[in-house]
Chain A
Amino acid sequence: MREVAVLGVGQTKFGELWDRSFREIGIEAGLQALVDAKLSSADLGALYLGNMASGSLIDQEHIAPLILDYAGLAGRHLPAMRVEGGGASGALALHQGYLAVASGLYDYVVVGGAEKLTDVPDATATQITASTADHEWEVVFGATLPALWGLVARRHMHLHGTTREQLARVSVHAHEMGSRNPNAHYRNRLTVEQVVGAPPIAEPLGVLDCAPFSDGAAAVVLGPLDEARRHTDTPVRIAASQVACDSMALQHRKEITSVGATVEAARLAFARARRAPADVQVAEIHDAYSICPIVGLEDLGFVPRGEAGPAFATGRFGLGGSPTINPSGGTKAQGRPFGAVGVAQVVELVRQLRGEAKERQVAGAALGLAHDLGGTGATSVVHLLERAN
């Protein structure tokens, strides 16, 4: 297996992009990444595209060749493939791109993630995203994605004493970070009182505990680490790319306050990179609902079980924290275009590791972790990225 590096990154603004189409945003992110990598499209071997639900959201399947076509590459007949894993689609696509370059089959690939959620009403988006849980045995009985995470939150509160205010701190943190990100869907700051007092969605989660439905796209160019210096002064090595899966329905997990797939993906990733959670300075972790990073930080090994809530309340995960969590603002503030999220997380980490994150830069960032989740954790993907010196 060859070592793989990220050579270029690109990302559109996230938000309600009513004036822009799916193909426009997909192409913008991809071309930005190519330019950043100082590559010509003639160098490319393949395109991988992470996307959750284009068929339901924009009535368009078969989107990978569509993006390839409008990027001007149809005539080269490159292989283009869509990768789907619910909310983890983007990170899964990255895993596929990583495997392709590591194997030696392709030298340079573009991995994109794109989703257009605001072309349907919110209620429709709620139903479509709920289908990343088990439709037949959860959704049919009245569950939505926030309802299922509400069940996790209530159980976490019951077992570990996590409080409503601690959950609210997660959203306050996200918006504090997002206020520094010009690409973010929301750049306003929040208070604990605002989060707690917001209208309920699925108790204990309110509207400000839930990431928004956003449009957006992100892309990275991957290539062999040996060639990286020809393209960039600041190559970032993919030190680990691990995928793990678990039961589709929350009801079949042994304990719902832990995502087994994340525990396993993190264990494998840290073992492969020969590193530990304490070595990570910056992490982009799944935060679609305020309970998610609490469970995630415990599953990833950053804090002991039951201690993530209090840790958030102390402000431990801000800039310069141990580690800094979601400097992009996470999905709560930067926005949640489902299939784009896993790729956008890596775009942010690469900017951090290159020292290009401007006012949200984590000083001395050398090792970053990205954690992307599908549904209630049926798919979990962990990437470790390292500044290559």
Chain B
Amino acid sequence: MSIARFWRETPRRYNLGGSKCGTCGTVYFPPRPVCPTCTRHRQSIATMAPFQLSGSGEVLSYTVVHEAAEGFEMQVPYVVALVKTDEGPVLTGQVVDLDPGRIRIGLRVHATFRKLREEGAAGVIHYGYKFAPEDDGERRPPPGRPADQVPSSATGDRARA
């Protein structure tokens, strides 16, 4: 992927910038130019306004991936989930800081800024959102870090895979 192709999605992938329909109030992520649920599609076009998601939500479904997508080979097995955010949109993302055996439907999670993958040794590094358990009691210390150093919140957490 070219640098520009990933860079242009930065507001969405880094800051969860979505959009909200000014006509019916439905929130979308990623942002859309036209509201799909609004009965007045055409009228919605000029009313779609930027809207930032809080990043909180719960797991709607999950899978533990063993045959990785390209660039994720070093992370297997990893959890991919559909997360229904509190504002409505459903996002696809990894759930990290959790023993894969403890993932479940209904688990409360919060978005956290992480490294997604890199394009080979000399390639671009992609960053974006992953999800971590909201409840600190569910969190697993990352490899090589003692449990007492795990940050109590995802906010301000340094980017790591």
Contact = CB atoms under 8 A, between A and B. Distances in A.
Interface of A: 123, 126-127, 130, 136-144, 146-148, 150-155, 158, 199-205, 247, 249-252, 256
B94 interface: yes
Interface in B56-100: 60-70, 72, 75, 77-78, 80-82, 89-94
Interface of B: 9, 13, 30, 36, 60-70, 72, 75, 77-78, 80-82, 89-94, 105, 116-117, 126, 128-130
Contact of A141 (B36, B68, B94): B94
B39 to A, nearest CB: 16
B69 A126 contact: yes
Contact of B69 (A143, A203, A205, A249): A143
Q: Which of B61, B65, B77, B117 has the most CB of A within 10 A?
A: B61
B29 to A, nearest CB: 9
A143 B62 CA distance: 11
A154 B63 CA distance: 7
For the complex, would chain A's binding face be called helix, strand, loop or mixed by DSSP majority?
Answer: helix
A155 B81 CA distance: 11
A251 B69 contact: no
Contacts of A140: 13, 116, 126, 128
Nearest to A156: B61
23 contacts: A136-B30, A139-B69, A140-B13, A140-B116, A141-B93, A141-B130, A142-B65, A142-B69, A142-B117, A144-B67, A147-B63, A150-B80, A151-B61, A151-B80, A153-B63, A155-B60, A200-B66, A202-B64, A202-B65, A204-B63, A205-B63, A251-B82, A251-B89
A173 B33 CA distance: 45
Given A140-B126, A144-B65, 15 more contacts: A126-B70, A130-B69, A141-B80, A141-B130, A142-B72, A142-B78, A143-B92, A150-B63, A150-B80, A154-B105, A200-B66, A203-B63, A251-B91, A256-B60, A256-B82
A200 B63 CA distance: 11
Contacts of A158: 61, 105
Contacts of B91: 137, 251
B61 to A, nearest CB: 4
A158 B61 CA distance: 9
B69 A137 contact: no
The 4 closest A-B pairs by CB, nearest first: A150-B63, A155-B61, A203-B64, A251-B90
B26 to A, nearest CB: 12
Contacts of B70: 123, 126-127
